Amino acid sequence: MQDGAMSQSREEGLGVLGQPQCAALLARHSFGRIAFWSDDAPLILPVNYTFREPTIVIRSGVGTKLEQTPLAPVVFEIDEADPLGTWGWSVVAQGPAFDITDSTDERSKALRSLPLAPWAPGTRQSWLTITATRVSGRYFGDLPHEFAEFFERS
């Protein structure tokens, strides 16, 4: 498969999203899930985010994410699906997480200046990033017309 291509095997029923489509979907959305190892079990938490390739930026309050994820490998996922199950897609990004709250380098400063307003109530003064070292995506069914147009522009 070429880097920017979308392909779908009719036998398997699943298609593969290319790197440009995965990056475009990450940039288009603002809600996902971060998965990481916490104590003795995996944990998945919903988060608001923004994306500047190859970095996923999350704001966090004090708690498990901030305590467990810095310098650890994490997985991040976004998806969308038809409520009747006729189509759907998902993008998964893997990579290390970093706490950039107090970082003074120019890149961290630039990432902290991105517009990112968490939906959850409470104070979210800490900044986490995930450097997406591996990104993959899949889809099934006939995606709505808006996705076909969107992928053509990607």
Q: What is the CATH number of the domain that holds 147?
A: 2.30.110.10
Could you tell me how far CA 98 lies from the centroid of its own chain? Answer: 15
What pLDDT is recorded for position 81?
A: 94
**Is pLDDT at 103 greater than 80 in this prediction?**
yes
Whether pTM exceeds 0.85: yes
| Residue with tokens 């991040």, as numbered in its chain | 76
> For residue 30, what are the domain limits?
8-153
1 in any annotated domain: no
106 in any annotated domain: yes
Q: Do residues 42 and 32 touch, judged by C-beta distance below 8 A?
A: no
Burial class (CB in 10 A: 0-12, 13-18, 19+), 49: buried
43 in any annotated domain: yes
Minimal CA–CA distance to 135: which of 44, 45, 54? 54
pLDDT tens, residue by residue, 109-124:
999 999 998 888 888 8
2 in any annotated domain: no
22 in any annotated domain: yes
- The dihedrals phi and psi of 120, each to the nearest 5 degrees, come to -70, 145
Q: Return all residues near 33 (Cβ < 8 A) that are at least 6 apart.
A: 44, 45, 46, 47, 76, 77, 78
69 in any annotated domain: yes
Mean pLDDT throughout 85-96?
96
User: How many structural domains are present in the chain?
Assistant: 1
pLDDT tens, residue by residue, 54-82:
999 999 988 899 899 999 999 999 999 99
**Is pLDDT at 44 greater than 60 in this prediction?**
yes
**Is pLDDT at 11 greater than 60 in this prediction?**
no
104 in any annotated domain: yes
Percentage of residues of the chain with pLDDT beyond 70: 88
| Residue with tokens 């902290």, as numbered in its chain | 112
3 in any annotated domain: no
54: preceding bond cis by omega (within 30 degrees): yes
